[in-house]
Amino acid sequence: MREAYHEQLDALFDDLAAISVQVTKAVHDASRALLTSDAAIAETVISDDKEIDRAAESVEDAAFLLLSLQQPVAGDLRTIVAALRMVSELERMGDLSVHVAKIARLRVPEIAVPPQARPTLLRMATVAEEMVSRLGPIIGGRDVAAAEELELMDDEMDQLRVTTFSQLLVGEWTHGIESAVDIALLGRYYERIADHAVSVAHRVVFVVTGQHPVGVS
């Protein structure tokens, strides 16, 4: 019985890792749609988000079932609670990818990111995708060292966010208010994707060590 129970706990993390792969694809495709003005890719990101939602619901159901049937304590309880929080973070990253895709779709046939902001947004998209892509191995392998490395990447994302504001506020922005709003929103979306990735990584550290990294409640 206990062996089967722990297999179910492990399955939660396997499913979370699988969702992170789906989210990585969503981030990648949303960014591609944004930077190429590809409406078809944007529509795919938006429609595929339902699959992420269904996968997240499945993990939640499995976690609540374990809570109700097994009444876990100590480390097992920590694992289940962390899984519930991680799945919420992953689902939110999928939602943020949809927000990026919707901006891309809204501006078709134009590209939403003007040349002035393109290098910064391209780097933000790259960093966001890289951070999310690392979550699968971190979750599946309970890799504390790799989880902690995401902090450095998040620092770069924060600096890129500052750069987007600088571009908008220095008085040299020539692409209009509508485009400025797009860039401000896109910067926020990518920053939040990175924040959620770090939060997921922190949950893994908590599961393994029993200690909350700084910034996790």
Encode pLDDT of 156-166 as tens digits.
999 999 999 88
- Amino acid (1-letter code) at residue 157: M
Encode pLDDT of 125-143 as tens digits.
999 999 999 999 999 999 9
Domain regions of the chain by residue span: 2-209
For residue 7, what pLDDT band results from cuts at 50, 70 and 90? confident
For residue 217, what pLDDT band results from cuts at 50, 70 and 90? very low
**Residues in CB range of 133: below 8 A, 6 or more apart:** 20, 24
**In the numeric block, which tokens belong to residue 97?**
């990818």
Q: Which residue has the higher pLDDT, 216 or 74?
A: 74
CATH code of domain 2-209: 1.20.58.220
> Is the pTM here over 0.85, yes or no?
yes
Dump the DSSP string for 184-215. HHHHHHHHHHHHHHHHHHHHHHHHHHS-PPTT
- What is d(CA 92, CA 33) in angstroms, rounded to the nearest whole number? 19
Share of the chain above pLDDT 70, in %: 95
